[in-house]
A and B are shown apart, each in its own frame.
Chain A
Amino acid sequence: ESTLTQSPTFMSATPGDKVNISCKASQDIDDDLNWYQQKPGEAPIFIIQDATTLVPGISPRFSGSGSGTDFTLTINNIESEDAASYFCLQHDDFPYTFGQGTKLEIK
């Protein structure tokens, strides 16, 4: 079973900033990692597929990188609407596992 370690667990940013969220897998998962955004009281939204592919309809300010065990979600030119929690999910093998999540606050 591959466990995912996300960091940081909380971060604060100012509009216009660039932020990076890390997700590290305990074993090689190739590029089988997705990213999701979740706002309070809402269902998660799929934003990055297979480590680097932007889901259609998602702002190009979001991007993903990495493969193997180290992955990064980058948000460019932060906007107030980006305030949310972000989770990574490995779908390399069952059981699927999520990272612990990163809560992003916008100042």
Chain B
Amino acid sequence: QVQLAESGGGVVPPGRFLRLSCAASGFTFSYFGMHWVRQAPGKGLEWLAFISHDGNLKYYTDSVKGRFTISRDNSKSTLFVQLFSLRPEDTALYFCARQGTANSGIDSWGQGTLVTVSS
């Protein structure tokens, strides 16, 4: 059973840094690409970033390119995202999600960790 557990969220002032983690279990983490997706309060889903199974390929949406960095540690079955220069509009629930096989898009989601950017 796929399990994804995000952590690291909290309340931070604008301009600060935060690192989110996602602990994966129930599958062979090193075989799968992974994503970060966020959802602002009362809003829809926004795709943020992807990292390939081996970490060699990374893609970002334009709104976070240069400010967010996705990474992974396959030895610890953990996905990360570093959030730099946080802005109030980055306030959201951040989900990690697994890429399905054969380029089938996202097939599993964590429960999310809440990031609030406020002074």
Contact = CB atoms under 8 A, between A and B. Distances in A.
Interface in A40-69: 42-46, 49-50, 55
Interface stretch (B16-24, B74-82, B104-112): B104-112
Interface of A: 32, 34, 36, 38, 42-46, 49-50, 55, 85, 87, 89, 91, 94-101
A44 B108 CA distance: 8
Contacts of B62: 95
Taking chain B's interface residues, is the majority helix, strand, or loop, or is none over half, making it mixed?
A: strand
A39 to B, nearest CB: 12
A95 B95 contact: no
Interface residues of B, number: 23
Summarize A's interface: helix, strand, loop or mixed.
Answer: loop
A55 B112 CA distance: 22
A46 B103 contact: no
B73 interface: no
